[in-house]
Structure 1
Amino acid sequence: MGIILATSRSFSDGDLDLVARAAAEGHAIVRGPAHHELHDLAPVLAKADAWIAGTGPVTAAHLDAAPHLKIIARYGVGTEAVDLAAAADRGIPVTNTPGANADAVADHAVGLMLAALRLIPDGDRRVRDGDWSVRRGRELGAATVGIVGFGRIGQGVARRLSGFGPRLLAADPYFPAERVRELGAEPVELDELFRTADLITLHAPGGQRLVDAERLDGIRPGTIIVNTARPDLVDEWAVAHALRDRILAGYAADTLDGDTAASAGPLLAAELAERVIVTPHLGAQTTQAVDNMGSISLEDVLAVLAGREPAHRVQVAENAAKPAS
Structure 2
Amino acid sequence: MNKVLITPKSFQKFREKPIKMLQEKGYEVIENQTGRTLTEDELIEYGKSGVVGVIVGVDPLPASVLTNCDQLKAISKYGVGTDNIDLGKADELGIQVSKAMGTNNISVAELAVGLMFESARKLSQSVQAVKNFGWGRTIGSELTGKKVALIGGGQIGKEVAKRCRGLQMEVSIYDPYFNDDSFLIEFGVSRSESLDDLLADADFVSLHLPVTDDTKHIMNAKTLSQMKETAILINTARGELVDEKALLSALQNGEIAVAAQDVYSQEPPEQGDSLVSLPNFILTPHIGAFTNEAVERMAIVSTENLITMLQGNE
Asked if the contact 1:12–1:294 (Cα under 8 Å) also holds between the matched residues in 2, the reply is: no
1:15 and 1:72, CA in 2 relative to 1: closer, same or farther beyond 3 A? closer
Residue 129 of structure 2 is aligned to residue 126 of structure 1: yes
Distance 1:62 1:308 in 2: 21
Distance 1:35 1:228 in 2: 19
Distance 2:131 2:121 in 1: 17
Letter matched to residue 111 of structure 1: G
Distance 2:269 2:147 in 1: 34
Partner of residue 83, structure 2: 80
Shift of 1:262: 3.4
Asked if the contact 2:229–2:257 (Cα under 8 Å) also holds between the matched residues in 1, the reply is: yes
Distance 1:290 1:113 in 2: 23
Matches within 5 A, 1:199-210: 199-207=204-212, 208-210=216-218
Higher relative contact order (CA 8 A, sep 6+): 1
Q: Stretches of 4+ moved more than 6 A in 1? A: none
Distance 1:150 1:279 in 2: 23
Residue 48 of structure 2 is aligned to residue 43 of structure 1: no
Tell me the percent identity: 32
Partner of residue 230, structure 2: 222
Distance 2:311 2:221 in 1: 51
Q: Tell me, what secondary structure is at the counterpart of 1:209? A: coil
Residue 302 of structure 2 is aligned to residue 297 of structure 1: yes
Partner of residue 318, structure 1: none
> CA deviation digits over 1:65-120, x for unaligned, max 9?
22221101111111122111211122111111122110110011111111110010
Residue in structure 1 matching 2:56, options 53, 56, 62: 53
1:28 and 1:156, CA in 2 relative to 1: closer, same or farther beyond 3 A? same
Distance 2:313 2:67 in 1: 24
Structure 2: 5+ residue runs without aligned partners? none
Letter matched to residue 35 of structure 1: T
Distance 2:139 2:271 in 1: 29
Partner of residue 256, structure 2: 248
Asked if the contact 1:16–1:291 (Cα under 8 Å) also holds between the matched residues in 2, the reply is: no
Partner of residue 102, structure 2: 99
**Count of paired positions:** 306
Asked if the contact 1:71–1:93 (Cα under 8 Å) also holds between the matched residues in 2, the reply is: yes
1:38 and 1:134, CA in 2 relative to 1: closer, same or farther beyond 3 A? closer
Residue 189 of structure 2 is aligned to residue 185 of structure 1: yes
Q: Tell me, what secondary structure is at the counterpart of 1:141? A: coil
Distance 2:242 2:147 in 1: 21
Structure 1: 5+ residue runs without aligned partners? 310-325
> CA deviation digits over 1:116-174, x for unaligned, max 9?
10010111222223331221111111311111101000100111112210111111110
Shift of 1:194: 0.7
Asked if the contact 2:8–2:37 (Cα under 8 Å) also holds between the matched residues in 1, the reply is: no
Partner of residue 282, structure 1: 287
Letter matched to residue 54 of structure 1: G
1:235 and 1:84, CA in 2 relative to 1: closer, same or farther beyond 3 A? same
Q: CA RMSD in A?
A: 1.9
Asked if the contact 1:121–1:277 (Cα under 8 Å) also holds between the matched residues in 2, the reply is: no
Distance 2:132 2:222 in 1: 38
Partner of residue 69, structure 1: 72
Shift of 1:289: 0.9
Residue in structure 2 matching 1:212, options 191, 216, 220: 220
Partner of residue 144, structure 1: 147
Asked if the contact 2:51–2:69 (Cα under 8 Å) also holds between the matched residues in 1, the reply is: yes
1:5 and 1:203, CA in 2 relative to 1: closer, same or farther beyond 3 A? same
Letter matched to residue 197 of structure 1: A
Asked if the contact 1:251–1:276 (Cα under 8 Å) also holds between the matched residues in 2, the reply is: yes
Asked if the contact 1:224–1:250 (Cα under 8 Å) also holds between the matched residues in 2, the reply is: yes
Q: Tell me, what secondary structure is at the counterpart of 2:172? A: strand
Shift of 1:63: 1.9
Distance 1:248 1:150 in 2: 23
Per the normalisation by structure 1, the TM-score is 0.88
Shift of 1:178: 3.1
Partner of residue 30, structure 1: 30
Distance 1:87 1:276 in 2: 37
Distance 2:122 2:47 in 1: 47
